[in-house]
Amino acid sequence: MLRSLLVPMLLAVSLLACGDDESVNPDSGDPTKVTYAESLGVDLAQMTLLPSGLYIQDTFVAEDGALAQAGSRVQVRYTGYLPDGRSFDATGNGPAFSFNLGAGEVIEGWDEGIAGMRVGGRRRLVIPSALGYGATGSGGRIPPYTVLIFDTELVSVR
């Protein structure tokens, strides 16, 4: 009798312990609760926090380039990082990535974070998982509830 009660109890305890895995912890999608690799140089205190939870930091401000706004077709060069410093995607020397800004063709953090840039400008985005890939992650390269860091450069606006 005791054995039949003990086995389910041990199973329940072991399953609860699995819930501590940070890769599936919703808190790991909050930029303020993540440890960033030193190589990234992320300092949230030096960034602008938008109401959505997106952090932005202009690393180069273009004064007179065309303005990216909803409805424009934009081209962006970028490198995407996980908080541990690993790059998961980049345009590199290839063609810039094109999309219609504000049309939902990219993650919400990009639609919001690229808006307001001028051609030639560079901006860092620290995107909470809710504005990225959320609970599902993406393609095995981005785990669920992952904060994303993007270094972006606006190449063109049409």
**Average pLDDT estimate for 39-52:** 98
Decide the pairing of beta strands 122-127 and 148-157: antiparallel
Residue 122, pLDDT score: 98
> What ranges make up the beta strands (E) of the chain?
48-49, 55-60, 73-81, 87-90, 97-100, 122-127, 148-157
pLDDT over 70, % of the chain: 85
> What does the alpha-carbon distance between residue 73 and residue 10 come to, in Å, rounded to a whole number?
56
How many other C-beta atoms can be found within 10 angstroms of the C-beta atom of residue 131?
A: 22
CATH 3.10.50.40 fits 28-157, yes or no: yes
Q: What is the pLDDT of residues 96-154, one digit of tens each?
A: 999 999 999 999 999 999 999 999 999 999 999 999 999 999 988 999 999 999 999 99
Cβ atoms of 150 and 117 closer than 8 Å: no
Asked if 150 and 54 count as a contact pair (C-beta separation under 8 A), the reply is no
Pairing state of beta strands 87-90 and 55-60?
A: unpaired
Kindly provide the b/e burial profile for residues 137-148, where b requires at least 16 CB atoms within 10 angstroms of the residue's own CB: bbeeebbbbbbb
Domain residue ranges in the chain:
28-157
* pTM, to two decimals: 0.84
